[in-house]
A = this chain, B = another copy of it.
Amino acid sequence: MSTKSTSSDKNKAILLVCDGLGDRPSIDGKTPLQAAFTPNLDGLSVSGINGLMDVIAPGIVPGSDTAHMSLFGYDPYKYYPGRGVFEALGADMELHKGDVAFRANFSTVDETMRVIDRRAGRKGSKELAEVLNGLEIDGVKILLKNTTQHRCAVVMEGEQFSRYVSDVDTHEAGDFVQECKPLQDDEAARKTAAIVNKFVKKSYELLNEHPVNAERREKGELPANIILLRGAGSYEGVPTIKERFGFTAACVAGASLYKGVAKYTGMKILPVAGATGKGDTNLRNKAEAALHALTEHDLVFVHVKDTDNHGHDGDFEAKKAIIERVDEELVARLKDADAYIAVTGDHSTPVTLKRHCSDPVPLVIKGDGVRTDGVKNFDEIAVASGGLNRIRGVDLMPILADYMGYYIMYGT
């Protein structure tokens, strides 16, 4: 029998996730985290408990979406609904049980349906989005929202659909638009694929000659003349963090994917001025937002995207620089909050690989009563000898919950 705590001795916590934080030794045999000047992060390690974390499992390369599900305590092998769901939620669209959602791009195709630019010159259009939003295909209502630049989220409303359909997006310019195909042999997948194909065709018919695109062509810009869908997800819903652990949670993030995962698990999404999920993101505002959120919520998740971007770019110095900014502008402010603080990554994105990899991420937890372990530096190598040893991402939230006093007991 499993019981939850009823004690009134509750604590708050901050979970700071630097996307793609983990790295490998390269310049001077150091990782960016080792090379960076990070007195505040190192201070957390000195007074905290440290270790390595396989966010999904050893040797498994996490996606950002599955990684965050793990970090929030949801085994992605059990709970992952498919990427599109998070994109739609992150775009603040309403989803209902059974709805199928997609990531989508405004793209540019020629008249043979060959893709000229998957991102239509990285430019979207609210006006073109309005042309497509609310279309009915075979009696099914399709909702579309233009989020940032060329990016969109698409939702197919209803209960008879399947996420098991292939992408229309070619993933490479020069290829022809793909036909959406059912990936399971059932009516739901066949029906979903058929509607997707009609919607894509319809998007070209409605967009190609639209005045907005005529204007773009006149200016020498690429027309946004088709919508290409990918990453189908099916909204099923999960028990919220509050239901599972007993505490409330809030999200301070710029990029919509992370807001989407947070929303899926029942976190409150907080607006933060200047949090862009990019290099110009205002980390000081994030720190203040997080501290303010702690007054109303038990756990605050803070996400920094740019560490990952520089990993993908293979830019050691830029990754080192953003880590130093995180240390100075974010950690320095958060470290003395009256709360547990955990700092980690969602996966490694080594600058030498320019992609996610399965190397475990460093983790430090500081707060009342943690078993301080003698680790002096917060980096991938030093934390390996810490008191947490090597845990899995899905274990982090139960561990934090116990520190916070919202423990789950099994047995008596």
Contacts and interface: CB of A to CB of B under 8 A. Distances in A.
A385 B401 CA distance: 25
A58 B25 contact: no
- Copies of this chain, tallied across the complex: 2
Contacts of A372: 25, 29, 381
Interface residues of A, number: 65
A24 interface: yes
Given A387-B384, A390-B389, A390-B390, A371 B24 contact: yes
15 contacts: A24-B369, A24-B370, A59-B398, A59-B399, A59-B408, A61-B407, A62-B411, A63-B409, A63-B411, A66-B410, A66-B411, A67-B411, A350-B369, A371-B384, A373-B381
A112 interface: no
A306 to B, nearest CB: 19
A385 B59 CA distance: 20
Interface stretch (A121-129, A135-143, A354-362): A354-362
Interface stretch (A75-83, A147-155, A247-255): A75-83
Contacts of A1: 82
Secondary structure call for the A interface: loop
A10 B390 CA distance: 27
A291 interface: no
A260 interface: no
Interface string A32-65: 0000000000000000000010001111111111
Contacts of A67: 411
Interface string A382-394: 0011111111100
B401 A59 contact: yes
A384 B353 CA distance: 28
Interface string A90-129: 0000000000000000000000000000000000000000
A352 interface: yes
A231 interface: yes
9 interchain residue pairs of minimum CB distance: A63-B411, A59-B398, A66-B411, A58-B395, A389-B390, A59-B399, A61-B409, A24-B369, A63-B412
